[in-house]
Amino acid sequence: MHVCLSYPRLILILIPFFVLSTAGTIRAQSSARYTLVIHGGAGTITRANMKPEMEKAYLRSLEAALDQGEKMLASGRTALDVVEAVVRLLEDDSLFNAGKGAVYTHAGEHELDAAIMNGKNLMAGAVAGVKTIRNPITAARSVMEHSEHVMLSGRGAEEFAKQRGLEGVDNSYFHTESRRRALERALEAERKEAKEKQVPSAKNTAMKNDWKYGTVGAVALDQYGDLAAATSTGGMTNKKFGRIGDAPLIGSGTYADSLVAVSCTGWGEFFIRMVMAKSLADRMRFGKQTLTIAGHELINIELPRMGGDGGLIAVDRNGEPIMPFCTEGMYRGFVRKLSGAALSQRQVAIYKD
């Protein structure tokens, strides 16, 4: 077939490419495809208890994270680089329960967990219970790339991060007033409950009362077809005894292989028992379930059946994103560019509806 393009027609076809490249944000070839999905935690997040300025601030932060991630994906950076960079950005954002803004432990400190996994080669790294590393996700990546281990914890992880030249901070760097008040409310509720029902003090009332949301995570499919996942958290308000959640446990809160990348948020003990992220991958690989069905069954049926709550984000090798959750809300968003499309699709959301 002979196709003849007149000069004005050619100009019309070229305009979208010109606009995008001069805008400086999306410079990918139109044949390139990529997806980035992010979360900022799941929990009792309702319109009724959200101030309009807070809502705006959260949406701004989610948009900024997607902007940064998309710029990187469009310019050809790997999924691994992108999930680390995006989670770092969210760690530095005091709105979220990761890095600056992490929740308080029972002892009035901050103990952070993070993990990263490269679906391309199944390499993974994690840190748990660290108190002085500014960006735990970068420490997790460093464990993956510069040690022979997968997970380091506490003092040892901090020593390793120091040797690698990562930025250290005083534990007070992570402080925010709102997280301090959340601890006070949790302690008060715990005292009340212990008095009324004689509940042993090892129980964490905050888990039931849902003062835990704000964990952050990112999963991505890059232009080369590779997947990666990253999760970072301060854990749960009022946690005790060196409690570690699901986020740094490879296969529970974080997982990536050649089919899917997953990052979870919610009541960690349940995600650990369900080996949530790997269960999703297994349902796809061995059960031949689609991403959407596997995610729905795990989060909306199995998790509540066990008594837990939360959500997850995932992306499969086709760039299909999912963001299921069984709580009232989940800070979340995705950007996806299909191959051949000039523009990407984007969504950010907080509530269920």
* Cβ 303 to ligand ASP shortest distance, Å: 12
- Nearer of residues 34 and 325 to ligand ASP, judged by Cβ: 325
Longest Cα pair distance anywhere in the chain, in angstroms?
A: 85
Cα separation, 130 vs 134, whole angstroms = 10
Which residue of the set 105, 215, 265, 327 is catalytic? 215
Distance in angstroms between the alpha carbons of the first and the last residue of the chain: 49
* Cβ 236 to ligand ASP shortest distance, Å: 5
* Cβ 326 to ligand ASP shortest distance, Å: 13
Q: Does 105 engage in binding with ligand ASP (CB under 6 A)?
A: no
- Nearer of residues 28 and 272 to ligand ASP, judged by Cβ: 272
Applying CB under 6 A, among 61, 265, 279, 327 the residue interacting with ligand ASP is 265
Q: Is 215 a catalytic residue?
A: yes
Residues 267-306 interacting with ligand ASP (rule: CB under 6 A): 268
281 Cβ partners below 8 Å, 6+ apart?
255, 257, 259, 260, 262
Strands 227-233 and 216-221: antiparallel
- Nearer of residues 99 and 268 to ligand ASP, judged by Cβ: 268
* Residues 19 and 25 sit within 8 Å (Cβ to Cβ): no
> Angle at which helices 154-163 and 136-146 pack, to 10 degrees?
80
* Cβ 243 to ligand ASP shortest distance, Å: 8
- Nearer of residues 106 and 212 to ligand ASP, judged by Cβ: 212
Between the CA atoms of 8, 10, 14 and 16, what dihedral angle is there, to the nearest 10 degrees?
60
Number of residues that bind ligand ASP (CB under 6 A): 14
Residues 200-259 interacting with ligand ASP (rule: CB under 6 A): 212-213, 215, 233, 235-236, 245-247, 253
Applying CB under 6 A, among 125, 266, 321, 324 the residue interacting with ligand ASP is 266
158: left (phi > 0), else alpha (psi -120 to 50), else beta? alpha
Q: How many other C-beta atoms lie within 10 A of the C-beta of residue 304?
A: 14
- Nearer of residues 138 and 254 to ligand ASP, judged by Cβ: 254
CA gyration radius for the chain?
A: 21
What is the binding site for ligand ASP (CB under 6 A)? 41, 212-213, 215, 233, 235-236, 245-247, 253, 265-266, 268
Q: Which residues are designated catalytic?
A: 215
